[in-house]
Structure 1
Amino acid sequence: MEPQQPDVILATRTALSQASALAVQYSFSIVGALVLLCAGWLIARLLHNWAYAGLKRVHGIDETLARFFSNIIRYALLVLVFVTVLGQFGVQTASIIAALGAAGLAIGLALQGTLQNIAAGIMLLVLRPFRVGESIETSSVTGTIREIGIFATELVDSDGVYRLAPNSTLWNTPVRNFSRLPTRKHDLAISVGADQDIDDAMQRLLDIARGNDNVLKNPAPAVFISELAGDGATVTLRYWVSTPNWWATTRSMLKRVKDEFAVKPEAELQTNEDRGDDPSPLDP
């Protein structure tokens, strides 16, 4: 038995030496990994703040979009740092990158609708077909914009009801923006019988429009015969109003014309450019 003792001692010493070498090796790897993680986290934070501040200064870039892109930069760098740290311990990072790519592809296929909303949200925030506070109408939703997010847009309709519309439904459809331009047109039509003086009716309509301070002088209000019906005619008053005053002015003009002619106008709006039911819930 005694001749075996040197072998045991030698094996023990060899094991201790290997353990010591592994401890030294991995201790350096652990320290390097910790340093790399701290440095990566700090750099990712600095790049996030730099990208956010830079995007905020770009004209047309919304704050939501600036935060979205800056967060993408930050998390992409953190993932790169994590993969590099694993490489410090001898892990084959190529297989990890391939696995991450496959996982990303699977997640993308599973979240196609969500990714469409993200892409549409980015386009809405960049091109700005509507902004917060503007009243819009699409084939699926009508209301005043409260917030434009990455995934969906919040609106309030004319009844004061909250509505949430996916961005893809707003991007893939024509949008009518009632608030974007500074002025809006209004057509007001009345019927004039054969026993009435049509020239007098046209002049009285013009006088009503010119007497309203909210009716713009340029372009000037105009009166014309828009339709012949039987023994009478339809006379239309066309005038322009600043967008903030459109609702109140058109309502007061309707009442004024009704009182003047003691008749109910045939149609409040007969053009493709205007509607009588302005969707803004801010209007009375």
Structure 2
Amino acid sequence: MNWWGMDAARWQGIWQVFTETLVRQGLNLVLAVLILLVGWWVAGRARRAAERLFERWGVDVTVRPMMGSIVLWVFRIVTLVLVLSQFGVQTASIIAILGAAGLAIGLALQGTLQNIAAGIMIVILRPFRVGDYIDAEGTAGTVREIGLFMTELTMLDGVCLHVPNNKLWGSPIINYSANPTRRLDIEVGVHQHDDIGGAITALRTLLRDDPRVLDEPAPDVMVMRYAEGAIILNVRCWIATSEFWPVRFEMNRRIKEVVEQAGCSIPLPLRELRVVETARNAAAR
């Protein structure tokens, strides 16, 4: 016997158990890593396959990214369960662990869960869809994708903007693309001494001759109010939503030409500066 009180045979048995356990756990570790890598790869493939399947079924493009994310995370959770089972963790224990972890994570990440819930509500109620231009209290852009946590927008200058779903869901949402037509209002000032009737007639002719202006509701030009040195006219018409900005820009250019051709003028704001010279200032010179 050695100084620990154990003979060589007992030491040999302990070493054998240790090496067998080490080899077994090492194999379990290698197998768990392989399961993790393969599971993560399969999850990505399953997501892409699900999105293609949804496209073949005619599922709305707004719903596809979120459904794909759900499929992705279902496969990842199953992969994690298989990895834990490699180390002898029972399924009931895994479910209990996941439940406790879910409760702890839910309390710690309330904002994240709110984003998930808001994303689900956006997909179900559809206040906007992919391709719509929206404005949620200053957060404006064209919707590119509605994800599980965030919505991706493209701003007017081409910049990509990621907005948490909860921020959009908790704000009033203006959807400029929801309706097929929009009303265009442009205010024009005409000098108070000019022929207002002639200006109105010329502007109505401009609206009538533009093929992009809809006949119903009928376009019109009316006097809105009186300003300092000018009478404000409102040029109003309905156009297709996709033509709104091109028509607005061109109308702003042509209105001035039409009004001037009718013998009227558009008064521009001017500021007159008068210098009063007193007798003291004159004497100081």
Decide: shared fold, TM above 0.5: yes
Give the structure 1 partner of residue 106 of structure 2: 108
Alpha-carbon distance in 2 for matches of 1:164, 1:54: 26
Please tell me whether the aligned partners of residues 185 and 238 of structure 1 are also in contact (alpha carbons under 8 angstroms).
yes
Matches within 5 A, 1:117-266: 117-229=115-227, 232-262=230-260, 263=265
Q: How many residues align?
A: 233
Alpha-carbon distance in 1 for matches of 2:112, 2:142: 23
Please tell me whether the aligned partners of residues 155 and 164 of structure 1 are also in contact (alpha carbons under 8 angstroms).
yes
Sequence identity percentage: 39
- Output the aligned Cα RMSD: 4.0
Please tell me whether the aligned partners of residues 206 and 222 of structure 1 are also in contact (alpha carbons under 8 angstroms).
yes
Q: TM-score, normalised by structure 1?
A: 0.65
Q: Sort the Cα spacing of 1:210 and 1:154 in 2 relative to 1 into closer, same or farther, 3 A.
A: same
Alpha-carbon distance in 2 for matches of 1:142, 1:148: 14
Q: Sort the Cα spacing of 1:119 and 1:145 in 2 relative to 1 into closer, same or farther, 3 A.
A: same
- Aligned partner of residue 223 in structure 2, secondary structure: strand
Alpha-carbon distance in 2 for matches of 1:240, 1:265: 27
- Aligned partner of residue 163 in structure 2, secondary structure: strand
Please tell me whether the aligned partners of residues 191 and 266 of structure 2 are also in contact (alpha carbons under 8 angstroms).
no
Alpha-carbon distance in 2 for matches of 1:265, 1:150: 53
Please tell me whether the aligned partners of residues 229 and 267 of structure 2 are also in contact (alpha carbons under 8 angstroms).
no
Please tell me whether the aligned partners of residues 189 and 265 of structure 1 are also in contact (alpha carbons under 8 angstroms).
no
Please tell me whether the aligned partners of residues 152 and 162 of structure 2 are also in contact (alpha carbons under 8 angstroms).
yes
Q: Sort the Cα spacing of 1:70 and 1:183 in 2 relative to 1 into closer, same or farther, 3 A.
A: same
Please tell me whether the aligned partners of residues 188 and 265 of structure 1 are also in contact (alpha carbons under 8 angstroms).
no
Offset at residue 209 of structure 1 (A):
0.6
Offset at residue 58 of structure 1 (A):
7.9
| Unmatched runs of 5 consecutive residues or more in structure 2 | 1-34, 269-285
Deviations 1:37-82 (A, max 9, x none): 9xxx9xx99xx89998997648657112322344455566677888
Tell me the amino acid that sits aligned with residue 68 of structure 1: S
Q: Sort the Cα spacing of 1:190 and 1:208 in 2 relative to 1 into closer, same or farther, 3 A.
A: same
| Unmatched runs of 5 consecutive residues or more in structure 1 | 1-36, 267-284
Tell me the amino acid that sits aligned with residue 113 of structure 2: L
Please tell me whether the aligned partners of residues 193 and 231 of structure 1 are also in contact (alpha carbons under 8 angstroms).
yes
Q: Sort the Cα spacing of 1:133 and 1:100 in 2 relative to 1 into closer, same or farther, 3 A.
A: closer
Please tell me whether the aligned partners of residues 138 and 176 of structure 1 are also in contact (alpha carbons under 8 angstroms).
yes
- Aligned partner of residue 120 in structure 1, secondary structure: helix
- Aligned partner of residue 184 in structure 1, secondary structure: strand
- Aligned partner of residue 146 in structure 1, secondary structure: strand
Matches within 5 A, 1:265-276: none
Please tell me whether the aligned partners of residues 136 and 173 of structure 2 are also in contact (alpha carbons under 8 angstroms).
yes
Alpha-carbon distance in 2 for matches of 1:58, 1:201: 52
Alpha-carbon distance in 2 for matches of 1:185, 1:113: 38
Please tell me whether the aligned partners of residues 65 and 145 of structure 2 are also in contact (alpha carbons under 8 angstroms).
no
Offset at residue 233 of structure 1 (A):
2.7
